[in-house]
């Protein structure tokens, strides 16, 4: 173990052997161009750690490893940043962010925020698969259930092709009131079960 505050020292022979292992079957490159780059640069572009890149090389999981002929040591090892990004990316999110829901419903931020605040869209914590930052999402199953249960007046207009004023008048005449009123949710949402046949 290295004493606290001390600078670790390694035998040059050990470092040389480690670099040689990284460069096993490496392709020599004179003038690398992106996405070909050094390990630190690839880690930065892929939002992962250099250790993860090293493990991919050592475990022979990369399709391509290069050797920068003009460089020496650790920085002479080249990898494809795009390949690193693809291999270190997490699983796709099984859900929707508030912004994605806003676009899908073709509505506004305050409508989606109100639906979340009202408990009609439940958010859970997740990790962005690309940048690994924490993100809140509404699980896909929950969001699909919401859409199967409710529809906004403008959503109903898009589905039926009828003007929203015509629809609103017909709903009012049938005594159907919005389950989630615009006074709270900034747009009227109706329960689909209440508008069947209208």
CA distances, 149 to each of 43, 69, 100, 120, 146 (Å): 44, 63, 19, 10, 5
Q: Give 91's pLDDT tier (boundaries 50, 70, 90).
A: confident
Containing 104, the helix (H) or strand (E) segment is helix 98-105
What digits encode the pLDDT tens for the residues 104-124?
999 999 999 999 999 999 999
Q: Round the average pLDDT of the chain to a whole number and report it.
A: 92
Q: Please tell me the predicted confidence (pLDDT) of residue 7.
A: 43
pLDDT of 193 > 80? The answer is yes
Give the predicted TM-score (pTM) of the model: 0.71
pLDDT in the model for residue 8: 47
pLDDT number for residue 148: 97
pLDDT number for residue 143: 98
| Mean pLDDT, residues 156-162 | 92
pLDDT band at 30 (very low <50, low <70, confident <90, very high): very high
Structure confidence by residue, pLDDT tens digits, 114-156 = 999 999 999 999 999 988 899 999 999 999 999 999 999 999 9
Q: Please report, to the nearest 10 degrees, the dihedral formed by the alpha carbons of residues 99, 111, 118, 122 taken in order.
A: -20
List pLDDT tens digits, range 42-74.
999 999 999 999 999 999 999 999 999 999 999
Please give the pLDDT value at position 149. 98
pLDDT value at residue 198: 66
Q: Strand (E) positions, the chain?
A: 27-29, 36-38, 65-68, 77-80, 95-96, 124-127, 134-139, 150-152, 189-191
* pLDDT for the residue 10: 53
Which pLDDT score, from 0 to 100, does residue 1 have?
47
Reported as a single tens digit per residue, the pLDDT across 15-26 is 889 999 999 999
């Amino acid at each position: 173990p290295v004493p606290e505050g001390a600078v670790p020292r390694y035998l040059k022979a050990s470092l040389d052997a480690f670099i040689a292992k990284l460069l096993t079957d490496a392709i020599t490159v004179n003038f690398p161009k992106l996405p070909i780059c050094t390990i630190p640069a690839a880690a930065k572009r892929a939002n992962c750690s250099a250790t993860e890149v090293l493990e991919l090389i050592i475990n022979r999981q990369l399709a391509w490893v290069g050797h920068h002929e003009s460089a020496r040591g650790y920085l002479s090892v080249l990898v494809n940043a795009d390949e690193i990004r693809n291999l270190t990316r997490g699983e796709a999110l099984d859900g929707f962010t508030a912004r994605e829901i806003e676009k899908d419903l073709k509505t506004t931020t305050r409508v989606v925020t109100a639906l979340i605040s009202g408990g009609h869209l439940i958010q859970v914590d997740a990790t962005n698969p690309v940048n690994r930052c924490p993100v809140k999402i509404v699980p896909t199953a929950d969001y699909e259930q919401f859409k199967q249960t409710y529809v906004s007046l403008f959503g109903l207009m898009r589905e039926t092709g009828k003007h929203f004023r015509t629809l609103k008048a017909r709903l009012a005449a049938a005594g159907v009131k919005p389950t989630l009123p615009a006074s709270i949710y900034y747009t009227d949402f109706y329960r689909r079960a209440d508008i069947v046949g209208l």
